[in-house]
Structure 1
Amino acid sequence: MLKTLQTIVVAGALLFAGQCFAVDMTGKVVEVLDGDTLTFESNDGRLFRVRLKEVDAPEPGQTFGRQATQFVETLLKGKSVRVKISSVDRYDRAIAVLILPDGRVLNRELVSHGLAWHYRVHFPVDPALRALEYQAWKQNAGLWVDPSVVPPWEFRREKGARKPPPADPSAMDYNGIFDYGLIGNPDTKLFLWPDCQGYPEDSRGFAVFGSELHAQKSGFKQSPGCSRPES
C-alpha cells in the first residue's frame, strides 16, 4: 500500500513539474474511493489519484454517497478507459475527464443521473454539465429528490449540518447555492468573489455566504468593482 501511494504521489509530482496539462492516457481504474475520486493505472504502469473535473459527488456519509460510488464501480468494472488530465491540484490529484469505451463521459453521467453536483469552482463553466444538472434537478433525479439536499462542499465544511427545508420545494434557491467562495470582510462589511481584486489568500476570519442574497441579508454590500462571475 505504501509503495502504491508513493507511486501516485510521484506520478502526480512529475506531471505537475512537467507542466503537462493536456495529458490523454488509456488504462484502467484499480480503485474507486468515492463518487468523484479514483485510482487510475495507465497502460505503462503509472498510478494516478484522479479527481473528476467539475463534479462533486455526495460524501460517503451523505445520502446518495454510497449510490454514487457503486454507480462508478459498475460503469468502470473490467473496462479500459481514457482519462484527459488538465491539471494537478494541491493534493497531487490529477484533475481529469474520464471517457468510457462507448464514448460516454463519466463526469456527465454522474451529473445527469443526479449522483453529483456540477462543481462550479472556476469560470467559465462547462455548459453541457450545467444543462445536464438542470435537467436532473427538474426531474428530481437522484439526490435532487430531496429539496433540502446539502451540497458536499457544505457538508465537508459544516460536518453535515442541515438547514431547514423550504416549505415549498420550488422555493429552493437553486442559483444561489452556486456562489462558491463568496466571502465577506467583517471590518468593511463588503463581500467579494474569488476573481475580485483584494480577495485574500487566507480567508480565515471572513464570513462565508451561500449566495449574494445571504450576504445582503447579513448586512454586507458588494465590493466596488467586484461583480458576480457570469455562469
Structure 2
Amino acid sequence: MKKIIYIQLLLFSIVAFSQTRGKVIKVKDGDTVVVLLSDKTHETLRLAEVDCPENGQAFGKNAKQFTSSAVFGKKVTFYRTGKDRYRRTIAKIFYGKQKYLSEEIIKAGLGWWYFKASKNKELQNVQDKAKEKKLGLWSDKNAVSPWDFRANKKKKIS
C-alpha cells in the first residue's frame, strides 16, 4: 500500500512540475493570464511568487500593461506548481530568452515578492533593488500590498 501511495505521489509531482507550452490569449491582471494549450483548451495561470496590485489599486493597470506587453499573444513555457483557492493553476512562466515573468514584474516595481508562498530569496533582492530605485509602485512611499488592500476591502464590505 505504501508503495502505491509513493508511486502516485511521484507521478503527481512529475506531472505537476512538468514543462508545458501555450499561447497567452488573455491577461486578466498583472499576475493572472489565460493560455491556449496545444489541445485547444484554455488554462488560467496565476503567476507564482509575485502578487501584483489589484485592478482598482494604484499601479494595477500598470502591472496588467507590463504583463500584456511581455507575453500577450506570445508562446510561453510554464511549470505548474500547484492550485490556489480559486482553483487556478499556479505557474512559473518563462518567455523570450528564458525570462522569468514574475521576476521581471518585481524588477520593474510592479509587483511584490509573494514571500508567503515563495522560498526564492533572490526575488527579495530584486524587490529591494526596485525599492531603492523607486521604480513603479515603490515611487509611492505609502504603497499598499495587494494582500493588505484585499483585507481592507473586506473590512469595508462587512
Give the superposition deviation at 1:25: 0.5
- 1:26 maps to 21
Secondary structure of 2:115's aligned partner: coil
- 2:74 maps to 79
Contact 1:81 1:98 in 2 (8 A): yes
Give the superposition deviation at 1:160: 9.1
Question: In 2, distance between residues paired with 1:22 and 1:126?
Answer: 16
Aligned AA (1:134): D
TM-score after normalising by structure 2 = 0.84
The number of residues matched between the two structures is 143
Aligned AA (2:71): L
User: Which structure has more strand as a fraction of its residues?
Assistant: 2
Q: Which runs of 5+ in 1 are unaligned?
A: 1-17, 162-231
Question: In 1, distance between residues paired with 2:134 and 2:79?
Answer: 30
Contact 1:53 1:97 in 2 (8 A): yes
Structure scoring higher RCO (CA < 8 A, sep ≥ 6) equals 2
Contact 1:115 1:143 in 2 (8 A): yes
Choose the corresponding residue for 1:139, options 121, 133, 146. 133
Give the superposition deviation at 1:91: 1.5
Aligned AA (2:137): L
Choose the corresponding residue for 1:128, options 119, 122, 130. 122
Q: Which runs of 5+ in 2 are unaligned?
A: 1-10
90 and 77 in structure 1: CA distance in 2 versus 1, 3 angstrom threshold: closer
- 1:150 maps to 144
Question: In 2, distance between residues paired with 1:38 and 1:78?
Answer: 11
Secondary structure of 1:121's aligned partner: helix
Q: Is residue 112 of structure 1 aligned with residue 107 of structure 2? A: yes
TM-score after normalising by structure 1 = 0.59
Matches within 5 A, 1:149-228: 149-159=143-153
Question: In 2, distance between residues paired with 1:31 and 1:145?
Answer: 28
Aligned AA (1:135): K
Q: Is residue 65 of structure 1 aligned with residue 60 of structure 2? A: yes
Aligned AA (1:91): Y
Question: In 1, distance between residues paired with 2:44 and 2:64?
Answer: 15
User: Which structure has more helix as a fraction of its residues?
Assistant: 2
Contact 1:23 1:86 in 2 (8 A): no
Question: In 2, distance between residues paired with 1:37 and 1:108?
Answer: 14
Structure having the higher Rg: 1
Question: In 1, distance between residues paired with 2:154 and 2:88?
Answer: 24
Contact 1:56 1:119 in 2 (8 A): yes
Question: In 1, distance between residues paired with 2:100 and 2:94?
Answer: 5
Question: In 2, distance between residues paired with 1:80 and 1:30?
Answer: 9
Contact 1:21 1:86 in 2 (8 A): yes
C-alpha RMSD over aligned residues: 1.7
Give the superposition deviation at 1:90: 2.6
Secondary structure of 2:61's aligned partner: helix
